[in-house]
């Protein structure tokens, strides 16, 4: 499977999940929706607003890294919003906008846009000095997807923990496209 065929649909499915979860929050808890952006699983974790922004950021960041392109300052701004979300959570409309921007970015990619990056060297430099050297393939498998899914599942868990009635079907609604029909009774 090519990197594009793996990453783009995975990112699209889960960004759509996040958009659906925001819809559910607004249906179930319209008076609490905005305040839930500041909700956390634990005091040392980032709030929902950060999880949503980091998911939108990560889905796009990988596409630039795998194409050997610098991360645009507009995308760095999304990561900065995520880091500042504890103090400035923003609004549901802004969170939806970031998810929509990420989906639009993914829609603009060619069917093989990321594939040439499979063997390219990718370095992840973390604050404080640690640097991870990988190929594009190991980056996608061991960093890009796990980091992205961490923020998606954390957003799900925050909402569930704060009383939003969601379940596994809300996390993987894209799976219903593969549901086998029950055999007709004889």
pTM to 2 decimals? 0.94
pLDDT at 186: 67
126 pLDDT above the threshold of 90: no
Q: Are strands 121-125 and 131-135 parallel, antiparallel or unpaired?
A: antiparallel
Q: What is the pLDDT of residues 20-67, one digit of tens each?
A: 999 999 999 999 999 999 999 999 999 999 999 999 999 999 999 999
Q: What is the pLDDT of residues 91-115, one digit of tens each?
A: 999 999 999 999 999 999 999 999 9
Report the chain's mean pLDDT, rounded to a whole number: 96
How far from each other are the two terminal CA atoms of the chain, in whole angstroms?
40
**CA 40 vs CA 33, 74, 113: distances in Å:** 14, 26, 36
pLDDT at 184: 72
Mean pLDDT over 13-22 rounds to 98
Q: At what angle do helices 3-28 and 145-161 cross, to 10 degrees?
A: 10
pLDDT at 89: 96
Query: What is the C-alpha separation between 81 and 90, in angstroms, rounded?
Result: 9
pLDDT at 14: 98
pLDDT at 134: 97
CATH numbers and ranges of domains, the chain:
3-178 (1.20.120.450)
Share of the chain above pLDDT 90, in %: 94
């Amino acid at each position: 499977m090519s990197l594009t065929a793996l990453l783009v649909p995975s990112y699209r499915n889960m960004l759509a999940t996040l958009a659906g979860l925001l819809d559910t929050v607004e249906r179930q808890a319209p008076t609490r929706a905005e305040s839930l952006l500041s909700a956390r699983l634990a005091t040392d974790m980032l709030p929902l607003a950060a999880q949503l922004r980091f998911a939108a950021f990560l889905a796009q960041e990988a596409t630039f890294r795998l194409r050997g392109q610098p991360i645009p300052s507009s995308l760095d701004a999304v990561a900065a919003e995520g880091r500042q979300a504890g103090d400035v959570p923003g609004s549901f409309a802004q969170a939806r906008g970031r998810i929509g921007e990420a989906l639009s970015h993914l829609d603009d990619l060619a069917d093989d846009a990321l594939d040439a990056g499979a063997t390219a060297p990718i370095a992840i430099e973390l604050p404080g000095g640690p640097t991870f050297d990988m190929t594009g393939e190991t980056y996608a498998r061991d960093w890009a997807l796990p980091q992205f899914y961490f923020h998606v599942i954390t957003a799900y868990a925050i909402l569930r923990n704060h009383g939003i009635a969601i379940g596994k079907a809300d996390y993987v609604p894209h799976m219903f496209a593969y549901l086998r029909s029950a055999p007709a009774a004889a």
